Amino acid sequence: MLPPALAANCYHLIQKCDKVIKKSAHGLNTLINLNRIYQEDCLSFMSKLKDQKILVDVIVTSPPYNMNKEYGIYKDNKEREKYLQWMKNVAEKSYDILKDDGSFFLNVGGRPVDPTSPFEVATQFRTIYELQNTIHWIKSVSIDAEDVGKNNEFREYGNISIGHFKPIVSDRYLSDLQEYIFHFTKTGNIKLDKLRIGVTYQDKTNIGRWKSAKQDKRDRGNVWLISYPTIQEGRPHPAVFPIKLPERCINLHGIKPNMLVYDPFMGIGNTALACLRLGLNYLGTEIDAEYIKVAQDKIASTPLETYLSEDNHEFI
Ligand SMILES: C[S@@+](CC[C@H](N)C(=O)[O-])C[C@H]1O[C@@H](n2cnc3c(N)ncnc32)[C@H](O)[C@@H]1O
């Protein structure tokens, strides 16, 4: 028997330790470390989480879009039906490991030649989940000065364009400057922390005039301009989202102590970095060891404040 003081110390050490230890179905002790990215297929990993009764608060992810992107090892050209069935499987498996009051934020984009693809993916998810919000992620926008309004300091810039995008070479299609973030929940009725990502009122006389306006913060709405940070060197991954995207989704869901966030398609770790910024636990899966290596290096070495912050949009 351990002396009580030593036992107490051991207990606190175990509490601090970020390991979740459970008995597997086979009676063996298996170990899932929090704050790690596993090189594993997300479906098999979600089955393990289910077996071990590990539930997550938020899932935020961007799956492959099936548009022939040049990933390292993943082949992004499944037959349409197989791709949609795979997405349905992801939805089904995730449902079992998401808490009843959890949120699943699914970022999907399309292509001008195949514009309905994101909705078809969302339709698969809707067979399992309720679609609570549809958010438009805007990567770049051009604003004419006359549309800015009189009492807005942006007016002095004249016509402005903000953000980056990949221009399309076509005389038929417009460049695609947006993607979707479908917000799925189990009931469609999950209370969110909207003001955590809220914006200040342009017209301060609204504060107090409206019953709902108790502070200088209002609902941001479902159109989110999030620019990519400028990349100076080569791109380690062909299809990433900015850290700010998962960060804002998690904030919108609301932050609670000991929350756990999972990204099934972790890529080079932007959801993990968002969790680090927010002080939250994360789990990730990614099949490509090279991407995991990039993620681990970023996690270990990047000063987080160097990433684009809320008020640091670039002008082009
Ligand atoms: C759109 S990318 C995600 C990028 C990520 N959001 C980021 O910012 O780095 C999709 C990723 O899914 C990975 N992937 C493909 N099939 C997978 C599977 N079955 N399980 C886990 N990851 C997979 C690909 O290697 C790719 O890196």
Q: Where are the domains of the chain?
A: 19-139+177-293
Q: What is the mean pLDDT of the chain?
A: 86
State if residue 197 touches ligand 1 by the CB under 6 angstroms criterion. no
**Where is 164: in which H helix or E strand?**
none
Looking at residue 262, its amino acid is: Y
State if residue 242 touches ligand 1 by the CB under 6 angstroms criterion. no
Residue from 182, 181, 179 nearest 111 by CA: 179
208 CA to centre of ligand 1 in angstroms: 46
* DSSP-derived 3-state class of residue 121: helix
Tens-place pLDDT, residues 6-16 = 443 433 333 34
Which is higher by pLDDT, 167 or 123? 123
Residues 6 or more apart whose CB falls under 8 angstroms from that of 92 comprise 128
Return d(Cα 84, Cα 99) in angstroms, integer: 24
**Among 74, 137, 244, 290, which is best to mutate for testing ligand 1, by the most ligand atoms less than 8 A from CB?**
74
For domain 19-139+177-293, the CATH architecture is: 3-Layer(aba) Sandwich (3.40)
Averaged over 113-118, what is the pLDDT?
Answer: 95
pLDDT at position 58: 98
State if residue 62 touches ligand 1 by the CB under 6 angstroms criterion. yes
Return d(Cα 227, Cα 245) in angstroms, integer: 10
pLDDT at position 249: 98
Which is higher by pLDDT, 234 or 104? 104
Tens-place pLDDT, residues 21-63 = 444 443 344 688 899 999 999 999 999 999 999 999 999 999 9
Tens-place pLDDT, residues 118-131 = 999 999 999 999 99
Whose C-alpha lies nearest to ligand 1, atom 18?
A: 41
Atom of ligand 1 nearest to the CA of 268: 9
- Dihedral sign computed on CA atoms, order 307, 312, 313, 316: negative
- Contact between residue 141 and residue 162 where contact means Cβ atoms under 8 Å apart: yes
Whose C-alpha lies nearest to ligand 1, atom 3?
A: 267
* DSSP-derived 3-state class of residue 111: strand
pLDDT at position 234: 78
Return d(Cα 313, Cα 242) in angstroms, integer: 12
pLDDT at position 156: 83
pLDDT at position 200: 87
State if residue 228 touches ligand 1 by the CB under 6 angstroms criterion. no
Q: Is the pLDDT of residue 309 over 60?
A: no
* Location of structure tokens 């037959």: 79
Any idea which of 169-173, 206-210, 226-230 has the lowest mean pLDDT? 206-210
Percentage of the chain lying above the pLDDT 90 cut: 70
State if residue 288 touches ligand 1 by the CB under 6 angstroms criterion. yes
The strand ranges marked E within the chain are: 19-23, 29-33, 36-38, 56-61, 98-108, 130-138, 140-143, 160-163, 178-185, 223-225, 260-263, 281-285
pLDDT at position 172: 96
Q: How many residues does the chain have?
A: 316
Residue from 183, 307, 200 nearest 251 by CA: 183
State if residue 246 touches ligand 1 by the CB under 6 angstroms criterion. no
